[in-house]
Structure 1
Amino acid sequence: MDEPEKSLKERLREAMIACRESVFPAYASPAEVFDGLAEACRELGIEEWDVYAERGPVARLEAEVADLLGRPAAYFPSGVMAQQVALRIHADNAGNRRVAMPDLSHLLVYEDDGPRILQDLRIEHLTTGRETPTKAHLDAIPGPLAACLVELPLRDAGCILPTFDELAELAQGCRERGIALHIDGARIWESQQWFGKPLAEIAGLADTVYTSFYKGLGGLAGAALLGDDDFVAQARLWRHRMGGTHFRSTAEAVSALVGLRDRLPHIGECVTWARALAAALPPSVTVQPPVPHTNTFLMYAAGDSDAVNTRLLAALEEHSLAFSRPWKASDEPGRVVTEVTVGQGALELDAEIVAGHIAALVGSRLSRERRSKRLHGHTAGDIFGRTSEVLLKGSLMSVQFEVRIDGMTCSRCVESVTNALGDLDGVHGVEVDLNPGATSSARVTADEPVEPRVLRSTLAKAGFTIARDT
């Protein structure tokens, strides 16, 4: 009897797994993973089992996370459980079932209405669509609230983040109204580079924090809730009531410890590589956000999902390079979308070459200027770190100049300046050096010099001025 023909989805999955190189986080076979965990136990000196989430690697994991994020932590087997527990505790303590969160929050989009059905919570939308939360959004919700949840980053909007100042102002607004601020920090590890602050300082803005161990850290499963001692004690109680205090969580905890040791130190490099890839893509591929805030972003292009995925399957099999995940139809007719999450394997790849594969996939091509920026034999991290050298050697038609800019204070300003200057005709490279409170600078690479009046006008529209000594 003939086996049924595999679907395109199944064939794409098999082709992705078979690739020798990958932009995305790679996962070994179960046997390889468990071999690695055994070796990790020896390396980390783990000789004791955890029992009902006490002692052993669970206790060690809670201690390490508490040290990184600056407050006591409780291990949870599930992020869904952990988030509902956090909001329930805040609602019970406040005597108020009303909580605010983005309409794109994971709790509302993917959890089958659990917060309302199981915890009797009344949900108010803090933001709608691709908005980052600010105090103004909170002020627009009248009346008492038990809690305000912010998702850092907001994944379904392309993993976007507020500025640190915006988050601090929102936290102050919550304190003034007696509202508990809860951070959904499933990807807080990936968000640190955007904020430019220690993890403990970011987490310290909130009353409570949730984080995940199986996303950026690559653990098998698991999560943690963090807060003050009383909150953590209540969280442990609710974990037990909801069946989350498992007899053994050893494998999950050890894998999370390995992620903290081996993956966390490289997440910032993955964010830089993601930005290099986004900058190298042709104009026909739209990136959300335009400058990635984390190592995850969305790509949009014109096309039909079946046609693009059929070409993707052929490219994966030909190159043995997982440069794109499958695409799906976007909300905009005639366009497709896919999510990019950069893993450590990408650091050994050239972002320009990967961008070329993506361009070919969606029926586009890199411009002459973008092709000339390739430097074979170097990784994308090398290229990003030596932009001036690479562009001057790689393109005889290019000129590079520096613009000194006043009025820049944060990473959002960097994004605004990069987009404003990058949209000028003939400009195909902008690298900003932020100096908050003083004069910042932008290195611009273009086909020819840009008139000063054009630069002044462009920056003025974006809310900045050219320094007098430019």
Structure 2
Amino acid sequence: MSISLQDAFNKSTYQLPGHGKRNVQVLKDAFENIDGQLDSDIYGTGKIIEAFQDKMAAFLGKEKAVFFPSGTMAQQIAMRIWCDEKELQKVAYHPLSHLEIHEEDGLKELHNIKTVLLADETRVIELDDVVSMEEEVACLLLELPQREIGGQLPSYETLEEISKHCRKNGIKLHLDGARLLEVLPYYEKTASEVCELFDSVYLSFYKGIGGIAGAILAGEATFIAKSKVWKRRYGGDLISLYPYIISADHFFNQKSKKMPVYYENAKELAVFFNSCHHVSTLPAIPVSNMFHVQFPHSKEEIEPILVEVIRETGVGIINHLKATGESSCYFEVSIGDRYQEVPKEAVKNAFLQLDRLMKNKFSF
């Protein structure tokens, strides 16, 4: 009886990607040292939420910030505010933006906002794409890193030029910074230095940080005041959000300082993948803690090979594989705490086995 890639991964001794299993222990760890008598937040007010919002505003270099239960809610609201301000219901972003492919057209259906897609699906937005826009827009959204194409990034100089162009031409610039912390080591900048180039910023607390859920939206005070009104309209002011806030704060404090380590580990792991027959990474050298691993063969051909490597070595390389065509597939790697827990000899052995099996299967 064949075993699935997910089952093989679950039974492996070591796992390369991520921080660990997402279970109730995540919440227990966050609350371990919390005073049970601490007052909860109530409908967006209270010390526990206000202190965290102030902390994040300062970290991102913005006047104010507001905590949202989801990034989807936060970013749709940001787009709506900027469109209303300019009285122009049109924004621009990458064709593979989260808003375009993962939100069931929420921006269009809920707000009647039209979108302009910049660049093609294989690369990031460059200055020429912005300068040559034929349509006027209220806001340009940039995602750093661009997840769906392996976490690619524009150069920092490009960001500066795009920011300068937008400010000169009255275009608001919004940062989809779900994984902002993960790109800071590559840019060698602080969060506030990057965010200074943008009018509004979104940061996630469950992706690289590893919290339960939740997001921060930051910007000028008037922008955040409007976003709080929209948060209430969206039903985002739950009676209490403290489980999300406490976990966000706990894991932010724990993980944000580790991003340079995750980045170096991702570059190291990419070398292992690229050393294997018919295996390549995108980008070839990662620019954050994430990248894609690509195979010029079908999912049906590659999955049994990965399962065999995991079963032979005990090293869980990945738990999923996505077809991109009849003869191509890939998976996404995001490095967190687990990679450093795997003995280097075990890692080397896993990739020697992967290389051997790929050569045996595809050397012709």
Q: Same fold (TM over 0.5)?
A: yes
2:322 equivalent in structure 1: 328
Mark the CA change 1:364 to 1:46 in structure 2 (over 3 Å): closer, same or farther.
Answer: farther
Q: CA deviation at 1:317?
A: 4.0
For residues 12-31 of structure 1, the aligned pairs below 5 Å read: 12-28=5-21, 30-31=23-24
For residues 176-191 of structure 1, the aligned pairs below 5 Å read: 176-191=168-183
Where structure 1 has 5 or more consecutive residues not aligned to the other structure, the ranges are: 366-470
Higher Cα radius of gyration: 1
* Contact 1:280–1:352 (CA under 8 A) maintained in structure 2: no
Mark the CA change 1:233 to 1:272 in structure 2 (over 3 Å): closer, same or farther.
Answer: same
Aligned residue identity for 2:59? L
Mark the CA change 1:334 to 1:173 in structure 2 (over 3 Å): closer, same or farther.
Answer: same
2:8 is the alignment partner of 1:33: no
Structure 2 distance, partners of 1:97, 1:133, is 21
Q: CA deviation at 1:361?
A: 3.5
1:205 match: secondary structure: coil
2:74 is the alignment partner of 1:82: yes
Structure 2 distance, partners of 1:159, 1:46, is 42
Higher relative contact order (CA 8 A, sep 6+): 2
* Contact 2:27–2:247 (CA under 8 A) maintained in structure 1: no
1:297 equivalent in structure 2: 291
Structure 2 distance, partners of 1:311, 1:140, is 46
Structure 1 distance, partners of 2:12, 2:255, is 21
* Contact 1:103–1:126 (CA under 8 A) maintained in structure 2: yes
Mark the CA change 1:342 to 1:352 in structure 2 (over 3 Å): closer, same or farther.
Answer: farther
2:362 equivalent in structure 1: none
1:36-88 deviation line (CA, Å, top 9, x unaligned): 1321424xx98221111222432232122112111111000011111100000
2:197 is the alignment partner of 1:197: no
Structure 2 distance, partners of 1:352, 1:156, is 31
Q: CA deviation at 1:251?
A: 1.2
For residues 58-137 of structure 1, the aligned pairs below 5 Å read: 58-71=49-62, 72-137=64-129
CA RMSD of aligned residues (A): 2.2
Mark the CA change 1:240 to 1:353 in structure 2 (over 3 Å): closer, same or farther.
Answer: same
Q: CA deviation at 1:195?
A: 1.1
* Contact 2:26–2:212 (CA under 8 A) maintained in structure 1: no
2:265 equivalent in structure 1: 273
Structure 1 distance, partners of 2:23, 2:47, is 22
Aligned residue identity for 2:6? R
Aligned residue identity for 2:254? D
* Contact 1:190–1:267 (CA under 8 A) maintained in structure 2: yes
Aligned residue identity for 1:136? D
TM score, norm. by length of structure 1: 0.71
2:358 is the alignment partner of 1:364: yes
Structure 1 distance, partners of 2:320, 2:173, is 36
2:257 is the alignment partner of 1:257: no
2:347 to 354, 374, 383: 354
1:311 to 302, 305, 309: 305
Mark the CA change 1:356 to 1:69 in structure 2 (over 3 Å): closer, same or farther.
Answer: same
Mark the CA change 1:291 to 1:46 in structure 2 (over 3 Å): closer, same or farther.
Answer: farther
* Contact 1:24–1:346 (CA under 8 A) maintained in structure 2: yes
Structure 2 distance, partners of 1:340, 1:30, is 20
Aligned residue identity for 2:28? D
* Contact 1:134–1:169 (CA under 8 A) maintained in structure 2: no
Q: CA deviation at 1:308?
A: 2.5
1:155-174 deviation line (CA, Å, top 9, x unaligned): 00110111111001000000
Aligned residue identity for 1:68? F
Q: CA deviation at 1:326?
A: 2.2
Where structure 2 has 5 or more consecutive residues not aligned to the other structure, the ranges are: 360-364
Q: CA deviation at 1:97?
A: 0.7
TM score, norm. by length of structure 2: 0.91
Mark the CA change 1:31 to 1:143 in structure 2 (over 3 Å): closer, same or farther.
Answer: closer
Structure 2 distance, partners of 1:212, 1:120, is 25
1:167 to 159, 170, 175: 159
